[in-house]
Amino acid sequence: MAKFHFVEDYERLIANLVETLPLEEAMSRAVGGNFEATGVIETDILRYAGLQDSMALIDLGCGSGRLAKPLGTSMKIDYLGLDVVQPLLDYARSISPPNYQFVLNEALSIPAGDSSADMVCAFSVFTHLLHAESYIYMEDIRRVLKPGGRLVFSFLEFANPNHWIVFTETVAGQKASSAPHLNTFIERDVIELWCTKLDFPLTQFVDGSESPWNGSPLWQAVAILQKPKA
């Protein structure tokens, strides 16, 4: 069976990084760099969205553990990290608490039971998927969330002028036949439509230059959705 484009894209990208860079730097660049700082920001966002000790979190696209590491030192949660590249999972496991679980998952579904998670996050995941793939993930994320559980994900939008550079770099990469992976923009009206169709209410958008969690902004915009309680 052929692999999804995002699996092949990231296998090539990570293989190249590991081959050409020291491991720690390769693992940082694999998730966009700024490893420590961004992990702290993502932790702040999840706390702002309602993550508390003893909750169950699924980290879709956990990468090399950028989020798992600060979560492991600041919170006591049940954690499941999912990614499509085994070397990333291996590195994430090496810097995380021993009770954290990391699972290779190449499917457009979440390997968890119905109503089993308090929160699911997807940082810099839907930014690299086709719209149909993001929608399918959202549909299954709704299934695994407990009533009242929340999905937190980041996204790129053309409405934010600061995100335009990603598009121009993608265009340049396509012209040079060197684009390492897909970059996808999702406008807010599209997210709102998906929420309506999935009965997955949107609670808040946060602009990429804002930080209501009283810390540094993420740069990408953030959407917070909540599964109906009944």
Q: Give the CATH number for residue 173.
A: 3.40.50.150
Could you give phi then psi for residue 69, rounded to 5 degrees?
-60, -55
> What digits encode the pLDDT tens for the residues 147-174?
999 999 999 999 999 999 999 999 998 8
Closest by CA position to 45, among listed 63, 67, 29: 67
Q: What is the pTM of this model?
A: 0.95
List the structure tokens of 78.
Answer: 């049940």
Q: Could you give the CA distance from residue 78 to residue 117 in angstroms, rounded to a whole number? A: 9
Total domains in the fold of the chain: 1
Q: How far apart are CA 191 and CA 90, in angstroms?
A: 33
The two three-digit tokens of residue 29, written as one number: 């660049």
SS3 of 94, please? helix
Q: pLDDT tens, 70-97?
A: 999 999 999 999 999 999 999 999 999 9
Q: Give the residue numbers spanning the domain of 152.
A: 5-226
